Amino acid sequence: MMLIKKSFFLKFLSFVLLACFCATAAVADSRLIPPDKIVYPKLKFELPKAERVVLENGIVLYIMEDNELPLVNVNAIFRTGSIYDPPGKEGVAELAAYLMRTGGTKKTASDQLDRRLDFLAASISFSMATDHATGDLSVLSKDIAEALDYFSQMIIAPAFEKKKLEIAVQLKIEDLRRLQDNPQRLAFREFNRLMFENDARGRLSTPKSLHAITRCDLRRFHQEFFHPQNAMFAITGDITRDQAINLFSKYFGAWKKGRVSEEAPPPKQTFTPGLYYLHKEIPQSTIVIGQFAPGKHHPDYHAFSVLDFIAGSGGFNSRIFDAVRNNEGLAYSAGSFYRARPAFGIFGAYAFTKTSSTLQALSLINGTVDEIRKKNVTPQELEWAKQSTINGFIFSFTSAEQIAWQQMRNEFEKMPPDYLELYRDKIEKITLDDLRRLADIYLNKTKNVVLILGDSKNFDEPAGDLPEPVLIKPQE
Amino acid sequence: MKRNNLLLLAIFIFCLGFAGRALCFDLEGKVSKTKLKNGITVLLLERQVSPTVSLYIRHRIGAVDEDEGETGAAHLLEHMMFKGTKTIGTKNYAAEKKILDAIEKTGTALDREKQKGEKANAKTIAALSAKLRKLNEEHKKYFIPNEIDRLYTQNGGLDMNASTGQDVTTYHVSLPANKIELWARIESDRMLNPVFREFYTERDVVMEERRQRVETSPSGKLYEEFMSAAYAVHPYRNPIIGWPQDLPWLSPGAMRKYFEKYRAPEKTVIAVVGAINPTETLKLIKKYFEPIPASSAKPRMAEPEPRQTAERRKEVIFDANPMMIIGFHKPNFPVYEDYVFDVLETILADGRTSRLYHLLVTKMQIADKISVYNGLPGSRYPNLFTIFATPRHPHTNAELENVILQELERLKTEPVSEEELTMAKNKLRMEYISGLDSNAQLASILSYYEVLTGDYRYFADYLKNIDKVTPQDIQQAASAFLTKENRTIATLERKKD
């Protein structure tokens, strides 16, 4: 017994040594070519497209069949938004969307809808943004007719049941209460309020405004915005073109036409640049910095995306991430963000760092951004950002749902019809001069709103010249 | 790791028997499984949906495998694996190595001095800190930072990331389908020759990660305290990110120890899903990964958790709104009861008509949120059936607890209805199917199951088992496990003045 064990052990040892030897030999082997020198086979890629049809009552419908799984997805987008909340009744839009799902329809009571959808394991949800709303349905293909029936009822004829409205108001108030417990959510909400001063986008719901909302407000809001001219749909998955059109005609055919809503006006941009503190006694500060930037319709949109990639959203190698996290170890999360809407954009930076390195991290971000502006982006960086964007482009086309949704959103946002076709070319043509020009306009720290949520009494000493901080209170 | 992955696997075998349709997603016939000479398992699945590919590497090593006093090591090691290799990220490795050694020596001395606490010599600390800073600056001359990320990103990589769980550590990326060789070159190299650069800075990054996920997050804090109460002995009691008394002192030596001990081919599973030619891909993988030596790592089982004999309670004081977690010990997958608890999880809290949601949120209106998870914090060892709840102001944790426990008691005396059971099974089925619609999800599921159970086909009987679950099974499981002496209740409350 012993002997066997021993010999096994010896055998095992020699095997390991041998294997190690192989491995060591392999290191010097030509196998390890420098990764940049690998030659790749050519990639075949054709831009896949969903079909666009217009139904009799004007509904735009994108269709893409895909039979891999027995599922159907429906995505909808609506021209509306929380910017249309009546003053003093902030929250109407969001509650309308929530109640469309939970408040029953004129034909079917909410309890009945919940039971059937749960039984079918189908999911329906609506969500409200500042300048649009979305709706999503996901269901087994065998149940698509029944589920689409409910989906259409919720969109066309919601009942906004009183009892469900009361629950929704209470849950929203609870959500606001618990927002105070989440530093990142709270900081970004307050940052938005500062950026959108004197603008409908900065008017957010409060317990008071929520209590003021009645079913009548929801009905009025729904009537104004939810009609075929304000909606677009995409249906994808295990369904044929004809089935899709038939079902949509059946369930959305009687939907009465309405007036197309006006474009949401761009924000007034009357915000006050400066340094704002939001005091909360926690061991880590949330820093959010930002200013306005080009929108999606602006000719500089592509170039600005590349600038943002280099500044802080392009991962480990982007400047802010590298400076704050890799170099100094001051944060786990740090970088930049560029949120572009058709008519405007917001460019910003963020870092979450311990109380004692708060102002050091702020200076580091400011210094890093200043450096981009003064010393320019390098040709290697530009090449890295362009190649990353161009090579990664194919990942926007990995499922039927994604492909159709993207085309629908582009039409909804009035992007040029050849937007996707030309995307890579436009990125390819961006020059260092473009970035220099944009950095000069938009990477100006004196124009920034800077919000720091944290234990402001114990921040470190400011490293450079910082404006006098203004202490703000979160919205009640 | 999301529990869902486990469930999702079941669909591979489950044939959606809709009459006249050929929708059976028969992955068993499509997945090819190969064991390389050194023990690495390779799973390949061709899926020509888009010219992309998702690549997953999973190692059967996690926080649960850490030694006492070194909690957080597996996770910090995962961070260190992004710092390059002997040939990636260096201008001259031989010269760089000397500085890295000096950095480690200085850093170790600095840690040792700091650990003396009040007796530490301030001058020594200042001198060593200055020296470390200087060495770090010097190191920059030889080091090309972030090369792994740059290579992947520039070549169109998406979702390049890694994760550390209690059970398993995962490295994954999606690439254009023609660039698999880049992945093979990088990943085989880091399984063989990783270099742990910028160690002390990265340790600070992880401390910030801890502040972000735990110290400033009421739910993170409560979860940590809950687990440490629910497990008295077993290492599942330790947080993946590490205890604050261990994390600041983790050493490069500990990184090497875990790397050597566990980064073994026998415990490694690779899954590649997407627009591939399986034969070509396997050839490439063999070329790059087969030279990795087999290892002598011996499997070690964690000390079993003794049977709980009395209810445990923990109160966390935190400046935030109240919340609570209730958990019960139970067997882990693939013991039959685990399937029963999957069904029960769905009955209790999946959907607006589920028992607890309907009762607490809609009917009584005392809860803000309610969710149930079967199988936390891992699946390699017996785990927990857990209930997370937040009261709606002005209601309290105590009120929620009362109602939830009453509902659990009811499970023992009244069988669930056939309608509820069917609904739950429908939902589980839907969950599987909708999780199969991407290369990344498929690669994730295949590799997870393989690394956890040793066979990705283990899920073969999953839905069959789910379908077997009867109202009596639920009643029995509830009676056996959802008992007072088997439960832990952790609550978070604001400080009472």
Domain boundaries, chain A: 51-252, 274-472
Lowest mean pLDDT among A467-476, B106-115, B272-281, B338-347: A467-476
pLDDT band, residue B167 (cuts 50/70/90): very high
pLDDT of residue B6: 37
Nearest CB to B23 within list A36, A70, A322: A70
Planar angle of CA B381, B439, A138, nearest 5 degrees:
90
Computed over its alpha carbons, how large is the radius of gyration of chain A? Answer: 27
CATH number of A274-472: 3.30.830.10
Sheet of B383-391: strand order equals: B312-317, B487-493, B323-330, B383-391, B367-376
pLDDT band, residue A367 (cuts 50/70/90): very high
Q: Is B146 on the interface with A (CB under 8 A)?
A: yes
pLDDT band, residue B26 (cuts 50/70/90): low
Query: Comparing A443 with B3, which gets the higher pLDDT?
Result: A443
pLDDT of residue A268: 87
Cβ <8 Å between B50 and A397: yes
Residue A412 burial (CB count, 10 A): 17
Query: Comparing B11 with B309, which gets the higher pLDDT?
Result: B309
Rounded CA separation B361/B346 (Å) = 16
In three-state form (DSSP H/G/I as H, E/B as E, the rest C), the secondary structure along chain A is CHHHHHHHHHHHHHHHHHHHHHHHHHHHCCCCCCHHHCCCCCCCCCCCCCEEEECCCCCEEEEEECCCCCEEEEEEEECCCHHHCCCCCCCHHHHHHHHHHHCCECCCCHHHHHHHHHHHCCEEEEEECCCCEEEEEEEEHHHHHHHHHHHHHHHHCECCCHHHHHHHHHHHHHHHHHHCCCHHHHHHHHHHHHHCCCCHHHCCCCHHHHHCCCHHHHHHHHHHHCCHHHEEEEEEECCCHHHHHHHHHHHHCCCCCCCCCCCCCCCCCCCCCEEEEEECCCCEEEEEEEEEECCCCCCCHHHHHHHHHHHHHCHHHCHHHHHHHHHCCCCCCEEEEEEECCCCEEEEEEEEEEHHHHHHHHHHHHHHHHHHHHHCCCHHHHHHHHHHHHHHHHHHHCCHHHHHHHHHHHHHCCCCCCHHHHHHHHHHCCCHHHHHHHHHHHCCHHHCEEEEEECHHHCCCCCCCCCCCEEECCCC
Rounded CA separation A119/A121 (Å) = 5
- Which tens digit of pLDDT belongs to each residue from A244-277? 999 999 999 999 988 888 888 899 888 999 999 9
Q: Is the pLDDT score of A54 beyond 60?
A: yes
> What number is the average pLDDT over the span A386-407?
97
Chain A neighbors of B182, CB-CB under 8 A: 35, 38, 40
Residue type, A222: H
Q: What is the ipTM of this complex?
A: 0.92
- Read off φ and ψ for residue A246, nearest 5 degrees: -60, -45
Nearest CB to A16 within list B193, B296, B433: B296
Cβ <8 Å between B294 and A16: yes
Q: Is the pLDDT score of A324 beyond 70?
A: yes
Cβ <8 Å between B353 and A115: yes
> What number is the average pLDDT over the span B91-120?
96
Mean pLDDT of chain A: 92
pLDDT of residue B16: 32
Rounded CA separation B383/B377 (Å) = 6
pLDDT of residue A459: 97
Q: Which of A74, A181, A357 best probes binding to B when mutated, by most B CB atoms within 10 angstroms?
A: A181
Residue with tokens 């650990």: B115
Chain B neighbors of A121, CB-CB under 8 A: 423, 426-427, 429-431
Computed over its alpha carbons, how large is the radius of gyration of chain B? Answer: 25
Among candidates B186, B103, B180, B172, which has minimal Cα distance to B143?
B103
pLDDT of residue A14: 31
Q: Is the pLDDT score of A419 beyond 90?
A: yes
In chain B, residues 207-226 whose CB comes closer than 8 Å to chain A: 207-209, 211-212, 215-218
> What number is the average pLDDT over the span B223-249?
97
Rounded CA separation A83/B46 (Å) = 47
The whole-angstrom distance between B484's CA and the closest CA on chain A is 30
Q: Is the pLDDT score of A285 beyond 80?
A: yes
Lowest mean pLDDT among A465-469, B170-174, B359-363: A465-469
> What number is the average pLDDT over the span B3-19?
33
Q: Is the peptide bond before A34 cis (omega within 30 degrees of 0)?
A: no
DSSP percent split of chain B into helix, strand, coil, nearest 5 = 50, 15, 30
Tokens, residue B166: 């209690």
> What number is the average pLDDT over the span B206-212?
96
Q: Is the pLDDT score of A60 beyond 90?
A: yes
- Read off φ and ψ for residue A459, nearest 5 degrees: -65, 160
Rounded CA separation A416/A341 (Å) = 14
The whole-angstrom distance between A187's CA and the closest CA on chain B is 13
Chain B neighbors of A179, CB-CB under 8 A: none
State the count of interchain CB pairs (< 8 A) between A and B: 224
Query: Comparing A34 with B260, which gets the higher pLDDT?
Result: A34
Tokens, residue A244: 């899709």
Nearest CB to A42 within list B25, B145, B178: B178
pLDDT of residue B207: 97
Q: Name the residue in chain B with its Cα closest to that of A43.
A: B178
Residue type, B331: P
The whole-angstrom distance between B306's CA and the closest CA on chain A is 33
Angle of helix A379-392 versus helix A419-428 axis, rounded to 10: 160
Q: Is the pLDDT score of B2 beyond 90?
A: no
- Which tens digit of pLDDT belongs to each residue from A14-38? 333 333 333 333 333 445 899 999 9
pLDDT band, residue B460 (cuts 50/70/90): low
On whether the CB atoms of residues A4 and B141 are closer than 8 A, the answer is no
Chain A neighbors of B438, CB-CB under 8 A: 398-399
Cα distance from N-terminal residue to C-terminal residue, chain B: 39
Q: Is B193 on the interface with A (CB under 8 A)?
A: yes
Tokens, residue A115: 């039971």
The whole-angstrom distance between B209's CA and the closest CA on chain A is 5
Nearest CB to B437 within list A171, A393, A399: A399
In chain B, what are the domains?
31-89+145-289 (3.30.830.10), 90-99+107-143 (no CATH), 312-493 (3.30.830.10)
Q: Is B429 on the interface with A (CB under 8 A)?
A: yes
The whole-angstrom distance between B251's CA and the closest CA on chain A is 16
pLDDT band, residue A283 (cuts 50/70/90): very high
Q: Is B277 on the interface with A (CB under 8 A)?
A: no
- Measure the CA dihedral A252/A257/A259/A261, to 10°: 10
On whether the CB atoms of residues B343 and B474 are closer than 8 A, the answer is yes
> What number is the average pLDDT over the span A230-239?
97
Burial class (CB in 10 A: 0-12, 13-18, 19+), A291: buried
pLDDT band, residue B432 (cuts 50/70/90): confident
The whole-angstrom distance between A397's CA and the closest CA on chain B is 7
The whole-angstrom distance between B20's CA and the closest CA on chain A is 13
Tokens, residue B444: 């994730």
pLDDT of residue B261: 74
pLDDT band, residue B25 (cuts 50/70/90): low
* A51-252 and A274-472, same CATH topology: yes
CATH superfamily entry for domain A51-252 = Metalloenzyme, LuxS/M16 peptidase-like (3.30.830.10)
Q: Is B366 on the interface with A (CB under 8 A)?
A: no
Rounded CA separation A103/A20 (Å) = 67
Taken in order A212, A218, A220, A221, is the CA torsion positive or negative? positive
Q: Is B149 on the interface with A (CB under 8 A)?
A: yes
Tokens, residue B35: 């064991």
> What number is the average pLDDT over the span B123-129?
97
- Which tens digit of pLDDT belongs to each residue from B310-326? 999 999 999 999 999 99
Mean pLDDT of chain B: 92
Nearest CB to A35 within list B151, B205, B433: B151
Q: Name the residue in chain A with its Cα closest to that of B362.
A: A167
Residue with tokens 């056996």: B480
Chain A neighbors of B157, CB-CB under 8 A: 392
Rounded CA separation B439/B455 (Å) = 19
pLDDT of residue B459: 65
